[in-house]
């Protein structure tokens, strides 16, 4: 059984019977145990949103979490939530776009927990009010958005991979976006470009480090209910999004975290260089 960590983290359990049946009519029986026992995960942007949700879920499955964020209060809150629920977490503060900060945060995390097995490159910014069409972009804006969403992954992997190698392998999970898969009339060109480049970086890392038993995959979420979207989600826009998504709703952060858990765990042991779209069917239309 997995330990229960966090208010919304469910416990794993054996399921038998139910409506789903295997071909021969035998009851489906799935033994679910903790997916990440003994693992240490470095999660960027773990102070809020999907990063916090993944921290709670990974901890429920036995991982110890290095909570990396630029927001000290948010990071501490995530750590407290995990500790209250019996998980182990350590906050490291810094800007993921700055190499020296990332180097220090990774070193501190390894010092706290002795190893590193999972790098979850989740931190990102979506400034819909400032990041629009190339026609409106200025250099400072472009550089900052691309640094946080793309360059951060370079620093985390540069300084994290030596520890994954030392551990005999590991899993890197990058967070892209459906914005990288299609063009939209409401443009966010710096964000879109950064997320698009992450697809190429994901494949390059997957191929370079496969021989080290290090896998690297990317998740493309559709729209997810997090503090990132909150300032922009008017009732009218929410309705518009819901109407455009075949499953008829915006995702809960848990629905992305559970895919990240799968990619972090040995259940996805033959997956590397893959793109996993989690968008309620939006880009399948
Ligand atoms: N929410 C969505 O609809 C959506 C859709 C597709 C992709 N994504 C991607 O998912 C990821 C998580 O998004 P979210 O919605 O949970 O975001 P969020 O804004 O709710 O949380 C992001 C976290 O990252 C931290 N952060 C921001 N800049 C940082 C920096 N420079 N250094 C360190 N930490 C920093 C923030 O403090 C915050 O805790 C992002 O990469 C985002 O682009 C989000």
Please report, in tens digits, the pLDDT of each residue of the chain (285 residues total). 444 454 344 444 433 344 444 445 556 555 578 999 999 999 999 999 999 999 999 999 999 999 999 999 999 999 999 999 899 999 999 999 999 999 999 999 999 999 999 999 999 999 988 899 999 999 999 999 999 999 999 999 999 999 999 999 999 999 999 999 999 989 999 999 999 999 999 999 999 999 999 999 999 999 999 999 899 899 999 999 999 999 999 999 999 999 999 999 999 999 999 999 999 999 999
Give me the residue label for tokens 């997320």. Answer: 195
Nearest CA to ligand 1 atom 2: 224
- Distance from the Cα of residue 96 to its chain's centroid: 14
- Ligand 1: which of 56, 119, 123 to mutate, most ligand atoms within 8 Å of CB? 123
Contact yes or no for 275/176 (Cβ under 8 A): yes
Other C-beta atoms closer than 10 Å to the C-beta of 96 total 25
Kindly give the distance from the C-alpha atom of residue 229 to the centroid of ligand 1, in angstroms, as a whole number.
Answer: 9
Q: What is the Å distance from ligand 1's center to 73 Cα?
A: 15
CA distances from 145 to 28, 108, 186 (A): 46, 26, 17
Q: Where would I find the H helices in the chain?
A: 49-60, 72-84, 99-113, 139-146, 152-166, 189-209, 235-244, 253-264
The finding on whether 75 has its CB within 6 A of some atom of ligand 1 is no
User: Using CB atoms within 10 A of its CB, is residue 26 exposed (0-12), middle (13-18) or buried (19+)?
Assistant: exposed
Whether 221 is in the pocket of ligand 1, judged by its Cβ within 6 Å, is yes
Active centre residues (catalytic): 191
Nearest ligand 1 atom, CA 126: 43
Number of Cβ atoms within 10 Å of the Cβ of 242: 14
Backbone torsions φ then ψ of 219, nearest 5 degrees:
-105, 135
Q: Are 217 and 277 in contact (CB under 8 A)?
A: no
Ligand 1 proximity of 190 Cβ (cutoff 6 Å): no
Nearest CA to ligand 1 atom 14: 49
- Determine the atom of ligand 1 nearest the C-alpha atom of 47: 39
Q: Dig out the tokens for 59 from the structure.
A: 């901890």
Q: List, in sequence order, every residue forming a beta bridge with 262; answer none if it has no partner.
A: none
* Phi, psi values for residue 172, rounded to 5°: -110, 130
Fold classification of 36-284 is Rossmann fold (3.40.50)
**Three-class secondary structure of residue 145 per DSSP:** helix
CA of 192 to the centre of ligand 1 (A): 14
Longest dimension (CA), the chain: 62
**pTM metric for this prediction:** 0.92
Any ligand 1 atom below 6 A from CB of 180: no
* Number of residues in the chain: 285
Distance (angstroms) between ligand 1 centre and the Cα of 42 equals: 15
**Pair 49, 253: CB distance under 8 Å:** yes
Closest C-alpha to ligand 1, atom 34: 69
User: How remote is the CA of residue 191 from the centroid of ligand 1, in Å?
Assistant: 12
Per the CB < 8 A criterion, the answer to whether 5 and 85 are in contact is yes
Alpha-carbon distance of 119 to 273, in angstroms, equals: 15
């Amino acid at each position: 059984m997995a330990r229960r960590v966090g208010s919304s983290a469910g416990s794993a359990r054996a399921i038998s019977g139910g409506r789903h049946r295997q071909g021969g009519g035998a009851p489906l029986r799935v033994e679910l145990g903790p997916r990440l026992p003994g693992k240490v995960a470095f999660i960027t942007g773990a102070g809020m949103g999907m990063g916090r949700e993944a921290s709670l879920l990974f901890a429920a499955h036995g991982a110890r979490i290095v909570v990396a964020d630029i927001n000290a209060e948010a990071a501490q809150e995530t750590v407290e939530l995990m500790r209250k629920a019996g998980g182990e977490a350590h906050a490291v503060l810094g800007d993921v776009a700055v190499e020296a900060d990332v180097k220090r945060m990774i070193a501190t995390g390894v010092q706290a927990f002795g190893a590193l097995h999972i790098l979850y490159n989740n931190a990102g910014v979506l400034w819909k009010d400032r990041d629009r069409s190339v026609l409106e972009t200025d250099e400072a804006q472009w550089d900052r958005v691309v640094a946080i969403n793309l360059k951060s992954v370079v620093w985390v992997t540069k300084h994290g991979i030596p520890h994954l190698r030392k551990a005999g392998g590991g899993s890197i999970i990058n967070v892209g976006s459906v914005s990288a898969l299609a063009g939209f009339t409401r443009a966010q060109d710096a964000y879109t470009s950064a997320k698009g480049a992450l697809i190429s970086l994901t494949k390059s890392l997957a191929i370079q480090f496969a021989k080290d038993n290090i896998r690297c995959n990317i998740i493309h979420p559709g729209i997810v209910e997090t503090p990132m979207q909150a300032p922009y989600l008017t009732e009218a826009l929410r309705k518009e999004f819901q109407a455009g998504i075949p499953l008829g709703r915006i995702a809960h952060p848990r629905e992305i975290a559970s895919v990240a858990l799968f990619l972090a765990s040995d259940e996805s042991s033959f997956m590397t260089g893959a793109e996993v779209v989690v968008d309620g069917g939006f880009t399948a239309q």
